[in-house]
Structure 1
């Protein structure tokens, strides 16, 4: 009996179980299940192919015999395969759930479906060759006040701006981790995308986080035009703690600084660490008026054991009750925290939903992004 195959089946079985039924308590076990099942939950079909190849190799090499241990291992592999099929079916439902979320928000158009097979076979969020990344530009003096700009290499003009804030619970995280599929998708369409880091705990507190978000937004409005963007149209987005920051900024901003839309992915929406109802500055979007809120897209995994899907539902209900702008709440079946680390079916459903919402509110429809004149081409009208 091969120890390699034994370890393989054991590790995949545990990771698959953690993805299928992640525990919420105790906290340490929940975090371990999230980390162990995170990748399996987003690409179960590829893990299933890996398990099948490993089992076939073990049978071919004679490692699986007719003894009891081989039978137990084979039964474990079959049970894991069944769980992976269930995970695949659950993840693949994200597109239909996205369509239902749009209809619930009063949008009768279905999301534009990307190729099911292309998403299945190319989950790695590799930056397209058409997109250039300008790294570590300063928007402040602190070493964490840095941002990347992603834009198309041919520098189309007039596209909107996306400003994105990463997650990490305000004590960790990087602009290089999550939502790369989102950034690449919009940059390839002619947007100028800004992915910013911000100061973290314990060296910084809530007011510093807010100040950094405002500074990054101000940088985008001042400098995005240098990269060909229409700096008057800014969409704000974030994951986890970044979604918390996004919601707060979208509801706190002055009318002339309010984003055109806010995109919140698996966010935490409660109060900041140690704060209570007597806080001087509201650290939860539930404590802020939403009558002037911009359009919102709130996406959350139904099985997120890191931040509550119920809180995301409650925020969507608050926004719908107080705001006249569209609010799309997308609860992804079986989704966990950090589902945007790969370009999976869930992230694809979010991107399709976002494209539809942006088209409805008239942002980034494609008509605003114009290619620059090619070299040697003649210009019509006056001018050199």
Structure 2
């Protein structure tokens, strides 16, 4: 059973690696046709942006901006000649095997020690468990990221050369958030905002607003919402945080009005929030490569960094559910396609998490076990320690904790 699930998971991963990430130029055309998707980048293995990299390489070599159509033609025909470091990095980003990928990244750095994207991916692949040695490595990496960012003159997401550094910066923010180091995450958020960027990295706003909730800074959420409103750039992903901020400040009538506005803006919001234990659904965004505004997926993406907070704030989640039911009426609510299956999977996850042998084990690690056929603590008896350690994301600290909790592994050689 476990092997079958592993093959399915690997197939999904291969499919993700082959998904096309559109260029800025192509995005402009699709936007004109009203078909522009908003991409959600949650993978640590990112696609190699061929067109942008090729343009930068050409400009560096010739000191002139190239003919974009000619570059695109060469890329389609496979006639563009990559610099050796770009060619190796490109190959690494399409290599699913971690060890082979890391060897390629090391070769990139041997050719070009300043190739930060390779250095970042190599670092990210080694950050698995949260312990003191790892935390010290993360702090050292943060110093490197900030140094590289300063070298780039603190450019924002509009500048392609800055994107690997800003992606690493967002990785650090999410890492600190995930481990409860909220004020470390806020330091980086405030530093980025102090540079007055024209464009934020993907998911930055969601992390920022979630952090404000976690640290009781609801006024900042309301201020950001108002600024977005004044600029005509407010969408459902910002509005849902404004609803939460108003509720947490005790402004119930305002929260109700904002929720009604959200339901008007996003026609899927009522069904989403009216579903039983709706906040479990935010995990499903992990399987999405892109989403469209004003959809179930846009709500999931916006609330994803806030999951632990929502799980603990039952009054808040009940308020959102009640408002959805009042506006939609129970008899008119339909469960979105795939939601019931997703909730069933999450029920299995929380059943496993509730067992005493899983005390102190993070939810994302429990999900890895569940994805590989370990649905109860008793299932570990069919696995050796070596087999569990071979699961991507599971390290020796986690195995040690399981043993301390009384888990018995298979002793077979």
Query: TM-score, structure 2 length as denominator?
Result: 0.26
Name the structure with the higher helix share.
Answer: 2
Q: Which has the higher strand share?
A: 1
Which has the bigger relative contact order, CA under 8 A and spacing at least 6? Answer: 1
